[in-house]
Amino acid sequence: MDGVTVTRLAELVAGGGVAVLSGAGLSTESGIPDYRGPTGRARPAEPMTYQRFTGSAEARQRYWARSHVGWRQIGRARPNAGHRAVAELERRGLLAGIVTQNVDGLHQAAGARRVIELHGGLDRVVCLSCRERTPRADLERRLRAANPGWEAAAAAINPDGDAVLTDAQVAGFQVVGCTACGGMLKPDVVFFGENVPRARVDECFALVAGARLLLVLGSSLTVRSGLRFVTKAASLGIPVAIVNQGATGGDADASLTLDAPLGPTLTDLTARLPVPAQ
């Protein structure tokens, strides 16, 4: 770890008003895989698209069977040292807020409060007809009841909680509908091919525009979803600091970059900051 760079980062963060943008790399130490890893090369995963999900009963059966298995790992995941460090920065009054690209809820589980879930959360389910939102735990109970004796071991778990299963394992899995209207249920997350709600994007832009520093944690910034906030900060003259394993799409706009593991680096960062008087 580059101690000199961490010291420079601490000097930037100490001034407060920090907007955090977090990505999948922050959750890898909690056992949740990311999309690219340190090399920046995409992992061999084929995420579900909104168009396939809504257009095919077979696709929905495959998704919910795989997600039913994958949720066991996502649901058991616990915050790591990086999440706890971010929550501590918020507790010390140094953060303006957190925008997370992750759908695992680990920032909140670590104690952070001002969190905008850019892509939603896997712990909720939404009906595409009546828009009622219900806890994922309720759906999991209903899926177990609808599929007594069904068990499947996953070959791998994708970053969005989608387990890798064979066609034979998926066959016969029963999908359930909304208890209120019978409509199609979808996890309350933004699928590929689906737009983030405009109001949510505007809220994120406002947070970044009002910040003194944008701190990017564990995001490769290879897609516009996260990169646009770095571009916005740079256009406003707001410094950008990036901590990630591997190069990112925002490095050219960054005042400081640090290629290092998130948990140890953020723990070191908080240790270098003064603790506010009680």
Which tokens go with 179?
Answer: 């208890």
Could you confirm whether 119 is annotated as catalytic? yes
Which is catalytic among the residues 68, 83, 107, 119? 119
Between CA 69 and CA 80 the distance in angstroms is 22
Which residues of 29-102 form beta strands (DSSP E)? 95-100
3-state secondary structure 67-115: HHHHHHHHHHCCCCHHHHHHHHHHHCCCEEEEEECCCCCHHHHCCCCCE
Q: Can you spell out the DSSP letters for 205-216?
A: HHHHHT-SEEEE
Between CA 91 and CA 263 the distance in angstroms is 18
Between CA 81 and CA 76 the distance in angstroms is 16
Residue 211 backbone phi and psi in degrees, to 5: -85, 160
R_g of the chain computed on alpha carbons? 20
4 membership: H or E segment, kind and range:
helix 3-13
Between CA 81 and CA 204 the distance in angstroms is 25
Between CA 13 and CA 203 the distance in angstroms is 22
Query: Helices 57-76 and 136-146: crossing angle, nearest 10°?
Result: 120
Residues marked active site are found at: 119
